Structure 1
Amino acid sequence: MSSKSLEEVHESISTQNKTSGFKKILAFLGPAYLISVGYMDPGNWATDIAGGSQFGYSLLWVLLMSNIMALLLQSLSARLGIVTQLDLAQASRETYSKGINYILYFLAEIAIAACDLAEVLGMAIGLNLLFDIPLLHGVFITVLDTFLLLFLINKGMRKMEAFIIALVAIIGFSFVFEMIFAQPELPKVFAGLIPSIPNENALYIAIGIIGATVMPHNLYLHSSLVQTRKFDRNISGVRQAIKYNFLDSVIALNLAFFVNAAILILAAATFYKNGMFEIAEIQDAHRFLEPLLGTKFAPILFAVALIAAGQSSTVTGTLAGQIIMEGYLNLRIRPWVRRIMTRLLAIVPAVVTISVFGEGVTGKLLILSQVILSLQLGFAIIPLIHFVSDKTRMKGFHINKPTQIAAWAIALVIVGLNARLVYGELRDWLSSSPNATLLWFTVVPITVFFALLLLYIVIRPFVVKPKEHIYNHSPHNLKLEFNQSAGLKAQKIAVTVDFSSADEGALNHAFSIGGNQAHYTLIHVVETVGAMMYGEQTVDHETSVDEKLLAEYDIMLTEKGYDIETRLGYGEPGKGIPKIVNEGDFDMLVMGTHGHSGLKDLIFGTTVDKVRHGISIPLMIVRD
């Protein structure tokens, strides 16, 4: 089945018919704020605290550089989604082979798991600091926020954005007061903006900061979220959407930079200044804030901001997970199943690590999660640069040469730093490990494989141009019988189609009942996240493809002598189909089904059952 990126909210926010320029800008603002929370999640806190306590203000330049990198890369991601109506995962699926896409999907899932691990630990630490809940219990409590996203997404995209912005505001205001309490030395702050790497450990922390700041899952997420805005898809409309989304990114990411810089400055002005160079744990930072700053409000604000950061980033991390699964695999599962899967992938390593090594290793685990994110960055950034540089794909909105040079320079810096880190780690392991031979036959070949994969991703788009794929069943592949005689007297027949092989049985059974005397209404529901949240205002690639295929059904069947009408719905099929049926005056509904049951019902949904209870006319179910 074809799907749009985040179909349930696709084009659900209209930017058209705004009476003033300010209202039009306001209509576009929002996606980057959901992105910005990924730049201030608990993983950032760990790397910023470690950097500030060990090296004072000297790594501030890494934050600034990371923010500039993030701004350019997020603007490229937004451009891809606006122009092509594809998210980054969908564009990759169109470009690379199935095998390569499976590997890229696997790497993206690792990044999502690493990100969610940071959010789980951050939330658990925040609960521990504020309410004295044991860390392990806090980890299990984080399972409950699985249902928060489901609640928010049902309330609509604007309400979700408002919730996230409120949490971002809490974080921002908390650190305004923390800066007032800490009173940092401004000359040293400005000196920290001059690039320097004090030692090898600083490089590890710097790479962690880059991984925590320029997050790969945010590139997938941004390319999808911008499709929630519906605008005029002409040259001026697309250009305006790109401009306003860039403005959205500038505001939101600079706010994220302020928060990250504030955390590092706070660590430098309190711990580094007092010779406490080994403060890397968030819990230690919280414990020493009150005696060092002389106010009980400092640790409270710190814990509140940490919980807000963890909660906001867990929502966006889940959406990103949904996007990469649907984009790379063209597989849509029920949102709560996806959320539980993502959360378990984070909870299991957190529980095992805390149980075996104790609560004192959470800081190291957080930093490791951010280094993993950084290592995955190249596999997201390089395809993105290729896509937005492609004149054909971008329909004239491709990036210019200076921007391409800047983007490739960023990719080179990130990949180069990662290569330096991997080489250093491998060298240390091979020289100190008693099982060096085992490493030569396991870790080294895996490292070489991923290096070659990265090289392949760099080279392939230069050599082979992508073909446009439509990932659903073509109407012309159906073996329709076109029965001309009516067996029953049903004059108005609704038939659901999903552009799969199930359509063949549904249409043939409908024609056997109504013949060429009946009026047929073909119903298809677009069920991406965008469509669920934004309904008819959704304008993305999948909606366009579905509209095209529905029109092809109409033309083909009309030419065969059938009286055909088409209806496109948006959101969850179990709700969308009954809504269309109940609004029309139909004698019966015919549905094709793939016949899954049991566990598959839990994972993929139970559309037929919901439709059956939602309509009052006869329903014929035709099993594929």
Structure 2
Amino acid sequence: MPAGEPSLAESHRSIAVGSGSFMRRFAAFIGPGFLVAVGYMDPGNWATSIAGGSEFGYTLLTAVLLSSLMAILLQALCARLAIATGRDLAQACRDSYPRPASFGLWVLAELAIIATDLAEVIGTAIGLQLLFGIPLVYGVVITALDVLLILYLQQRGFRWVEAFVAAMILVIAICFVGELILAQPSVAAVLEGFLPTPEIVTNERMLYLALGILGATVMPHNLYLHTGILHTRAYNEDEPGRRQAIQFATLDSTIALGFALLVNASILILAAAAFHTNGTGPIEDLTDAHALLEPLLGAAIAPILFAVALLASGLSSTVTATMAGQIVMQGFLRLRMPLVARRLVTRGLAIIPAAVIIVLYGEKGAAELLVLSQVVLSLQLPFAVVPLVQFSADRRKMGSFRAPAWMLVLAVAISLLIIGLNAKLVYDFILTGSA
């Protein structure tokens, strides 16, 4: 593969950017942000938000808000890097680091994508079980059929991929709007939950769950994904064209991640209103949450909406994880593999441990494996964030598009915070065997 060949070459600059009104030009950039947003509401994030809401009510909405603001800034850096350099994050790492370091980063990125896929496999299987009564182990195997979905969308064009993911996000949002209408949360308590409180730091259990929400929200594969899929836009490559592209791409990701914030907050608000208010105690298992919704909310549709949203989350995440895998493989190794083949490899590496654990340990094992996947992601995250911030500050790479000082200061602070929080999560996991 030539050094200059882009990732996702079949879609490279395939979406025209017009020259009409502001909205017409911006419309051409709408899409990548929503592919990224899926990673912030995938099944791997649900358990922590449900546990936090069921145990502490609305208090941890502060953690949801903070993690979303961090994500917005990091994805803005991704947009700036991709458009300024014409490279994705994986390619930039390969260009800048010695081969052994680059190879190590590739291995870590692949582990993060497998861990992400593992969470999607388990989440989708749980959704199939809740909706159709399919045993978990069979549901895990059925998830391999999503390769047909990938093949269909790939043949239709990149805009179809974006439309499918956007539709799934809309389904998730509609389901949670329905759940919140049934749960009738206190508006005053919700607003208060977004305000920081010293109790989050002084209460050890609350701090632990807040760290879990923060540590599991920013997904490593999203940083590679965003820097790759922005090259599907055929923007003008002169300086004014790139500045406009950065503006539109940043606006797209900010709007999409703001939408993801609402969805993530809705998960925690639902848990607070349905479980904490009714005194059920901590709920950490998705199946338990599903089972309790009908008796607590008094509507048979409540658990159905929950299961549909979970299934939509798993299906949409599977598309973006596949593309991220392709970008990582091509960027680091200059090795191109058809999306379907790539999907089979990644999903196979996720299905095998999931099926084995479920056969041996049942649903409890699946829940623990979901936790383990988040710990793996936490461990890998700094190895994607640090290069992103480093490249964004490098004037030789970025030229006149180098991020402004205030953005770099915030990015460094966020990087240190992420490293510290994720180090604590991993330390706690090693020390206690749980996360």
Q: TM-score, normalised by structure 2?
A: 0.95
The residue aligned with 1:243 is 247
Match of 1:364 among 350, 353, 368: 368
Paired position in structure 1 for 2:128: 127
Which residue does 2:28 correspond to in 1? 27
- Distance, in Å, in 1 between the alignment partners of 2:348 and 2:240 is 45
After superposition, where does 1:285-434 map in structure 2 within 5 Å? 285-427=289-431
Cα distance in 1 for partners of 2:55, 2:108 equals 31
1:192 paired residue number: 193
Preserved contact between residue 375 and residue 425 of structure 2 (Cα < 8 Å): no
Could you tell me which of 10, 17, 22 is aligned with 1:8? 10
Whether 2:74 is the aligned partner of 1:73: answer: yes
1:262 aligns with 2:266: yes
State the alpha-carbon separation in 1 of the partners of residues 176 and 339 from structure 2.
34
Q: TM-score, normalised by structure 1?
A: 0.67
Instruction: Name the CA shift for 1:428/1:124 in 2 (closer, same or farther; >3 Å).
Output: closer
- Could you tell me whether the CA contact under 8 Å between 1:47 and 1:367 is conserved in 2? no
Letter in 1 for 2:379: L
1:216 matches 2:220: yes
Cα offset, 1:392, TM superposition: 1.5
8 Å contact kept, 1:112–1:317: yes
**Aligned to 1:277, what secondary structure does the other structure show?**
coil
Residue 112 in structure 1 maps to residue 116 in structure 2: no
The answer to whether 1:48 aligns with 2:26 is no
The answer to whether 1:136 aligns with 2:140 is no
Mapped contact 1:105–1:325 kept (Cα < 8 A): yes
Structure 2 residue 238 is the aligned partner of structure 1 residue 234:
yes
Q: Which residue of 2 aligns with 1:171?
A: 172
Q: Map residues 451-490 of structure 1 onto 2, 5 A cutoff.
A: none
Three-state SS of the structure 2 residue aligned to 1:358 is helix
Whether the 8 Å CA contact 1:37–1:312 is kept in 2: the answer is: yes
Structure 2 letter corresponding to 1:255: F
Please tell me the residue identity of whatever aligns with 2:252: D
Query: How far apart are 1:219 and its partner, in Å?
Result: 0.3
CA–CA separation in structure 2 for the residues paired with 1:104 and 1:285: 37
Q: Distance in 2 between matches of 1:364 and 1:179?
A: 28
Count of matched residue positions in the alignment of Structure 1 and Structure 2? 428
CA distance in 2: counterparts of 1:303 and 1:362, whole angstroms: 17
Secondary structure in structure 2 of the residue aligned to 1:158 = helix
CA-based RMSD of the aligned residues comes to 1.5
User: How far apart are residue 207 of structure 1 and its match?
Assistant: 3.2
Q: Displacement, 1:424?
A: 4.1
Rg bigger for which structure? 1
CA distance in 2 between partners of 1:117 and 1:302 (Å): 20
More helix by proportion, 1 or 2? Answer: 2
> Judging changes above 3 Å, is the alpha-carbon distance between structure 1 residues 279 and 198 closer, same or farther for their aligned structure 2 residues?
farther
- In the alignment, the residues of structure 2 paired with residue 44 and residue 426 of structure 1 have an alpha-carbon distance, to the nearest angstrom, of 20
Q: Secondary structure at the match of 1:399?
A: coil
Per-residue Cα deviation, 1:470-500 (whole angstroms, up to 9, x for no partner): xxxxxxxxxxxxxxxxxxxxxxxxxxxxxxx
1:275-295 superposed Cα distances (whole Å, 9 cap, x missing partner): 222311111111111110111
Aligned to 2:400, the other structure's residue is in SS state coil
In 2, Cα distance between the equivalents of 1:393 and 1:294? 58
Deviation, 1:265, is 0.7
Q: For 1:140 and 1:374, locate their aligned partners in 2 and report how far apart those are by CA, in whole Å.
A: 26
Q: Is the 8 A contact 2:60 2:210 kept in 1?
A: yes
Whole-Å separation in 2 of the counterparts to 1:191 and 1:144: 44
Tell me, yes or no, if the aligned pair for 1:208 and 1:367 is still in contact at 8 Å: no
Distance in 1 between residues matched to 2:294 and 2:338, nearest whole Å: 45
Contact 2:80/2:403 (<8 A) preserved: no
Aligned to 1:63: 64
- 1:96 aligns to what? 97
Q: Show the counterpart of 1:503.
A: none
Moved more, 337-346 or 203-212: 203-212
* Whole-angstrom distance in 2 between the partners of 1:226 and 1:379: 21
1:107-159 CA-partner distances (Å, limit 9, x unpaired): 11111011101100111111111111111110000000022112101111111
Q: How far off is 1:216 after superposition?
A: 0.7
Measure the CA separation in 2 of the matches of 1:108 and 1:35.
16
2:280 corresponds in structure 1 to 276
Distance 2:336 2:141 in 1: 26
**CA distance in structure 2 between the aligned counterparts of 1:354 and 1:200, rounded to whole angstroms:** 31
Inter-partner Cα distance in structure 1 for 2:82 and 2:117: 24
Q: Tell me if structure 1 keeps the 8 A contact 2:290–2:303.
A: yes
Contact kept in structure 2, 1:207 and 1:374, CA below 8 Å: no
Q: CA deviation at 1:426?
A: 4.5
What secondary structure, in the 3-state scheme, does the structure 2 residue paired with 1:28 have? Answer: coil
Q: For the structure 1 residues 420 and 45, does the alpha-carbon distance in structure 2 shift closer, same or farther, using more than 3 Å as the test? A: closer
More strand per residue: 1 or 2? Answer: 1
Checking the alignment, whether the CA contact within 8 Å between 2:15 and 2:234 is kept in structure 1 is yes
Q: For residues 201 and 331 of structure 1, do their structure 2 counterparts lie closer, same or farther at Cα, with a shift above 3 Å needed?
A: farther
Structure 1 residues 203 and 349, CA gap change in structure 2 (3 angstroms): farther
The answer (yes or no) to whether the contact 2:7–2:326 under 8 Å persists in 1 is no
Q: Deviation digits for residues 181-223 of structure 1, max 9, x if unmatched?
A: 1111223222322141464444443333224321110000000
Give, in whole Å, the separation in 2 of the partners of 1:358 and 1:276: 24
Kept in 2: contact 1:32–1:249 (CA 8 A): yes
Give 1:59 deviation, angstroms: 1.3
Equivalent residue, structure 1, for 2:162: 161
Counterpart contact for 2:375–2:426, Cα < 8 Å: no
> Residues 221 and 176 from structure 1, CA distance in 2 versus in 1: closer, same or farther, beyond 3 angstroms?
same
Distance 1:421 1:303 in 2: 28
| Contact 1:115/1:373 (<8 A) preserved | yes
Distance in 2 (alpha carbons) for counterparts of 1:184 and 1:281: 21
Partner AA of 2:234 in structure 1: K
Amino acid at match of 2:318: T
Q: What is the distance in 1 between the residues matched to 2:371 and 2:208?
A: 9
| Greater displacement, 160-169 / 326-335 | 326-335
State how far apart, in whole Å, the 2-side matches of 1:342 and 1:93 are. Answer: 22
Change (3 A) 1:343 1:203: farther
Cα deviation code 1:232-273 (max 9, x no counterpart): 111111111111111101211011111110001111111112
Secondary structure of the structure 1 residue equivalent to 2:308: helix
Residues 144-182 of structure 1 deviation map (CA, whole Å, 9 limit, x = unaligned): 002211210111111111111111111111111111111
Conserved 8 A contact 2:89-2:227: yes
Q: Distance in 2 between matches of 1:426 and 1:340?
A: 31
Question: 2:171 & 2:426 partners in 1: Cα distance?
Answer: 37
Amino acid at match of 2:335: L
Does the residue aligned with 1:43 lie in a helix, a strand or coil?
A: helix
2-side partners of 1:325 and 1:137: how far apart?
30
